[in-house]
Structure formats: C-alpha cells, structure tokens
Amino acid sequence: MLKISKFGGTSLSEGKQIKKVAQIIKMDNARKYVVVSAPGKRWNEDNKITDLLYLCHAHLKYNVPSGEIFNMIEERYKSIIEELNLDLNIQRYLDEIKSSFNKNISIDYLASRGEYLNALILAEYLGYDFIDSKDIIFFNMNGTLDEEKTERLIKEKLNKTDRAVIPGFYGSTPLGEVKTFTRGGSDITGALISRYLKADIYENWTDVSGFMMADPRIVKNPKKIRNITYQELRELSYMGAKVLHDEAIYPVRKANIPINIRNTNNPDDIGTIITNEKKNGENIAITGIAGRKEFTVIGLQKFYMNNEVGFVKKLLSILEMYDITFEHIPSGIDTVSIVIDDEFLNGKLEKIIDKIEKSCEPDRIDVFKNIALIAVVGQRMAYTPGVSSRIFGALGKEGINIRMIDQGSSEINIIIGIEDKDFEKAINSIYYEFNK
Ligand code: ADP
Ligand code: ASP
Ligand code: MG
C-alpha cells in the first residue's frame, strides 16, 4: 500500500501544526512520500510565507529595502525550529537565499524557497530523506511539463528511498532554473508523484474536513460532499473552489488514483473521496456550487447573424490577436456574448470593441462589467428535471438579475452570470434551495 500525502500551508504554519502532521504520518506506514507547501496563515490576518516572498521580490526588483520583510520570513522559520527543538542550521539556508539577493533575482526561485525550507524542516523532524523537486519535476522550454523526464526521475529518485519529504510548487527548466507552477501548485506536485509511483491513494490534507457543497467562507456550515467525481471536482475547482488546484486532477485521473481530501485538525474525519464513478446513495440533484467574480461580458446583436458564415470566427480571431482567452460564449439566433476574465482583459477592452465594430459590424454592442459567474455542478443534473427552474426561481425570489445562462452540452453544469454585488447572496440562495 502506498499513500502520497500532501499537506497544505495551514497544516504546516507553525511548530504546533507540524507536530500534528508528523503524528498523522507516523500513524500509517503507507504514508511514505510527503509533499509540503510553504507555511501558511496561523490566524486570519497573518501572512502566508509565499506572499511575503513575492513581496520581497517586488522590493528587490524596484530597489526598495527588503530587509524587514525577509526578517519576518526568517523569524517564522526560526520559531518553527525552536518549537520543534530541531538541530538544523536553518540560518545557513536563509543566508544562502539572501546571498542571491539582487535586482534581477528570479521570482520563481525566491517564491519556491517557502516550500524548500519547509520540506527540509519536516524531513529533519521525521527522520525522512529530503528530495528536492528541482531534481524530479521538469518543464519544457515552452513552460509545459516534460512528462517523460518527470516520470523517469520521479521513479529513479524516489525508488531509491523508502521515505521522503518533497517540497511542492516547483520544478526546473531545461536550463536548470527553478520554475513554479501557478499559485496553489503544491497540489500538482503531489498529483504527479502519485501518478508516476502508482500510489493507491493521493491524500490532500488541508484545514477543512473535505470538499463542501459551497465555499464555507460564503455559506455557513455547508454540507460536506462524501463522494465526488474528478469531472465535477474539476468544474468546481476551476470555477473558484480552490480546495485543490484544478490542474492537479488530470494526473491522478489519468492513473485512476482516488484523491482523499482530509483535515489535519480533525484526522478522524474521513473527508471527501474523489473517483471516476459517482457512488449511489447520494440523492441530491446537484453536487456543488462555486463561482468567481470580475468578468466582463461583451454582447453582440446583428440581424441575420445566424446566416452570416464565419461571424463567430471573425470575433474570436480578434480575441486571438490580443492574446485573450474567453470563458464562455453563449449564443442565440442573432446574438452572441463572450465572457472574459478581467485578468486577461487589462487595458485592452476599448481596443477590442473598436476592432469588433470595424470587422464584425454588429447592430449593437453591449458591455457588462463586474459580472460574477456561478457554476452549479452535478453529474445527476442531466437526469433530474427542473433543476434549472429551481435555480432561477431561487435567484428570482431574491431579486437577483440574471445576465447570462450557459449550460454545457455535457449537462454536468449550469453557468449563471450575475452582478458581482449579488455574488454571495446568489450562492446562498441556490445552496438553500437544494438544502431545505
Ligand atoms: P491549503 O493551504 O491546505 O492548500 P487551501 O486554502 O488551498 O488550503 O484550500 C482550503 C480552503 O479552501 C478552505 O479553507 C476553504 O476556505 C476554501 N474552500 C473554497 N471552496 C471550498 C469548498 N467548496 N469546500 C471546502 N473548502 C473550500
Ligand atoms: N505556497 C504556494 C502558494 O501559496 C503553493 C501552494 O501552497 O500550493 O501558492
Ligand atoms: Mg491549496
């Protein structure tokens, strides 16, 4: 039996938490390879070490003194060492990082040091080997994962050791430089190791007792989901339920390895199991609700649009020209809308509208800003009549204006566009409609 166990930032934020993690690992002999995040928040207003490292980088880049910020980072690690009573010269590693401080220091290298130091500490505390991710995770020149090399080196290095701690979040480029995944990427590291070592289970330990039907920061005490499919989880995590990085799902799904979300602060709870198949016995029509704010919708109307060959192609080629990916593109006979994440739009909106007017010649263009998207996800939705009318009814009762509706052809989700200001209210009203 082989379990890969990934522990998130809050699970490793201070000595007290690391002691809990060690207990969990020692409880089960199958927990042989452990992936760690950088120390997260100890309390609500606390800082994540990774955020401080990014902040430190910004100071270095603009020649602003960074000493105070790096001191906070040093203090956190030193207090962990002290609390765990470890005989590890952490100062040596901190000094090594400081010695590379200059205006052009790599942002990825600096950001990755949070997990690097934390893995050194946990390895020492457990008496496990430390395996650096730069020696087992590899990217291609274009930034994609070098799957072949990653598989080979994960097998080669980890099969040589019976027990190891591995820092999450980064790997190396063909030039040997550190490169990170996107934020929350330690989940991906754990998924890759699980896949290539053919683990029996990928455990993802965090600060909640599993995946909930809605974000617990928005809905009070939402119901826990016992079983969920990879596909449902991917929809929900992509749409904002960031319990697990959405890119962490593909590798384990490929190898058909179950993911188990567990709570470090409540290890007796069995958490959520994610597999390919929906288990019988859970009769609720929807599995979960998630959402994200800050989208812009561009709506076009043109009489006889449906007869105009290549209209949508023209529209999409404009987005391509500006290197913008779109989220959804719901359409009617003479209308089409494109939904774009504001993150990709920065400063380009006016130029795009201008181009669309010239090249597509629509009768009308409307731009709706500050749009939130909500995804209602459920494998059973396709077989349960009336789900959408219940959703729209619930929103209507609250007086929430629906700006867009899109149902994917897989019928595993319904996407609704509303105004940002209605976001929390909308999630709550849909949640309570299905949990009366
Ligand atoms: P970690 O640091 O362990 O990786 P994250 O902060 O990445 O943890 O993910 C766990 C957090 O995700 C929870 O504390 C919770 O606030 C948030 N979250 C958002 N949506 C959900 C959901 N549907 N179910 C459970 N947690 C959720
Ligand atoms: N520490 C990194 C972050 O905060 C990666 C992770 O936690 O998974 O994004
Ligand atoms: Mg996370």
Name the pairing type of β-strands 272-275 and 227-229. parallel
Helix axes 423-434, 387-397, angle to 10 degrees: 130
Torsion on CA atoms 80, 85, 90, 91, rounded to nearest 10? 100
> What's the pTM value of the predicted model, to 2 decimals?
0.91
**Nearest residue to 271 via CA among 211, 360, 356, 359:** 211
**Nearest residue to 100 via CA among 57, 143, 142, 154:** 57
Give me ligand 3 centre to Cα 131, in Å: 21
What is the block-wise mean pLDDT of the chain (436 residues), using blocks of 10 residues?
A: 98 98 98 98 97 98 95 98 97 97 96 98 98 98 97 98 98 98 98 98 96 96 94 90 92 96 97 85 81 94 84 91 89 89 90 93 94 92 84 95 81 91 97 94
- With a 6 A CB cut-off, is 183 part of the ligand 2 pocket? yes
For residue 409, the model assigns a pLDDT of 65
Give me ligand 1 centre to Cα 177, in Å: 30
**Nearest residue to 211 via CA among 224, 221, 202:** 224
Phi, psi of 128 (to 5 degrees): -100, 165
417 has which bridge partners? 373, 404
Q: Tell me if 225 sits within 8 A of 261, measured CB to CB.
A: no
- Which ranges in the chain are annotated with CATH 3.30.2130.10? 288-434
How far apart (Å, rounded) are the C-alpha atoms in residues 267 and 31? 14
For residue 282, the model assigns a pLDDT of 60
CATH architecture of 3-207: 3-Layer(aba) Sandwich (3.40)
For residue 176, the model assigns a pLDDT of 97
- With a 6 A CB cut-off, is 184 part of the ligand 2 pocket? yes
For residue 141, the model assigns a pLDDT of 96
Q: Tell me if 410 sits within 8 A of 401, measured CB to CB.
A: no
- The CATH code that applies to domain 288-434 is 3.30.2130.10
- With a 6 A CB cut-off, is 212 part of the ligand 1 pocket? yes
For residue 381, the model assigns a pLDDT of 82
Q: Tell me if 325 sits within 8 A of 344, measured CB to CB.
A: yes
For residue 136, the model assigns a pLDDT of 98
Place of tokens 């007290």: 16
Atom of ligand 2 nearest to the CA of 37: 7
- With a 6 A CB cut-off, is 241 part of the ligand 1 pocket? yes
Among the bound ligands, the one closest to the CA of 289: 1
Instruction: Pull the structure tokens for residue 245.
Output: 């990085």
Q: Which helix (H) or strand (E) holds 297?
A: strand 288-301
For residue 340, the model assigns a pLDDT of 94
Burial level of 213, CB count in 10 A (0-12/13-18/19+)?
Answer: buried
Helices (H), 160-213: 186-196
Give me ligand 2 centre to Cα 316, in Å: 33
| First-last CA distance in the chain | 41
Instruction: Pull the structure tokens for residue 389.
Output: 């009318």
How far apart (Å, rounded) are the C-alpha atoms in residues 420 and 51? 26
- With a 6 A CB cut-off, is 38 part of the ligand 2 pocket? yes
For residue 77, the model assigns a pLDDT of 98
Place of tokens 């100071």: 59
Q: Tell me if 67 sits within 8 A of 39, measured CB to CB.
A: no
Distances, alpha carbon 191 to alpha carbons 24, 195, 203, 254, 345, in Å? 19, 6, 9, 10, 31
- Which ranges in the chain are annotated with CATH 3.40.1160.10? 3-207
Q: Tell me if 403 sits within 8 A of 418, measured CB to CB.
A: yes
Label residue 215 left, alpha or beta by phi (over 0 means left) and psi (-120 to 50 means alpha).
beta
